Amino acid sequence: MITYPLSLAELSSLYFQLQQNGAFCRGENKKHFDNLSLEEVLAIALEESRWDFRLLGILIDFFQKNFIHIKPFLLRNYIQKNKSPEVIGVIQEWVYTLNTSPDLKDFFTLLTKDLKRDDEYKLFNVGQAFNLKNIQKEATSSLMQYKKWGFLCSEIPLLKENLIAEKRLHLYSKEERMNILKELLSSYGEISLQEYLKAIKNSVTRQHARLDILSYKGIKHKGTTKGSIYSIKR
């Protein structure tokens, strides 16, 4: 029986097995997980990714590039035995930010069919040390790719090789952006456009962000358009 998080030797072996199957990572064969199918290795990696954030990025990259080589029915069978099978849904959401081909969508539709999230949100990155402040941050700033599947996390997991500066990731709904804006105004009293953009990870254009702020009830601003400072009318 496998226990999580994996030991360092197990994790190195897992990376090695993923590397052997074409994943963008390196590991050393410590004689764990030998003679397992690709689908078994992936199921283990999916569960472990809640403790290893880089592994999540590696899996996202691997699935979007190599899904054609994976047996979805077999993988689904292994995933359903995991404690957190919903992780495959998180993978799906992030893969869709990189690739939305019809074949890829069919692949994930099969893997996530009848997959239900828990009623309560769980912290995704359970390997991180959380204090009350960080937990509150995750609760207010979590990205929709996690929240859709019952997790809280505010970090973008994509490998730097998959991040395109010109491409804006759809990370927050309008309601979520308004909640972040409310939290900023409550904490700091007044904010700049750049501070708001940073808080929402530059996921919309400057013009879109400005419209967000101006649509907030009771907002006022001072200064020029580019250097405006925004606050709530008292």
pLDDT mean by block of 10 residues, the chain; 234 residues: 94 97 96 95 97 96 96 97 96 94 96 88 79 75 93 91 73 89 90 92 88 90 81 82
pLDDT in the model for residue 115: 92
- Which residues constitute the domain of residue 141? 8-162
pLDDT in the model for residue 117: 83
Contact yes or no for 92/108 (Cβ under 8 A): yes
Count of structural domains within the chain: 2
Task: Report yes or no on 32 lying in a domain.
Answer: yes
Rounded to a whole number, what is the distance in angstroms from the first to the last CA of the chain? 60
> What CATH number is given to the structural domain containing 197?
1.10.10.10
**Which residue, among 38, 115, 25, has the nearest Cα to 74 in the 3D structure?**
38
pLDDT in the model for residue 78: 97
Q: What CA–CA distance (Å, rounded) separates 151 from 124?
A: 5
Task: Report yes or no on 169 lying in a domain.
Answer: no
Task: Report yes or no on 24 lying in a domain.
Answer: yes
> DSSP 3-state assignment of 70?
coil
pLDDT in the model for residue 221: 86
pTM: 0.81
Please state, as a whole number, how many other Cβ atoms lie within 10 Å of the Cβ of residue 22: 11
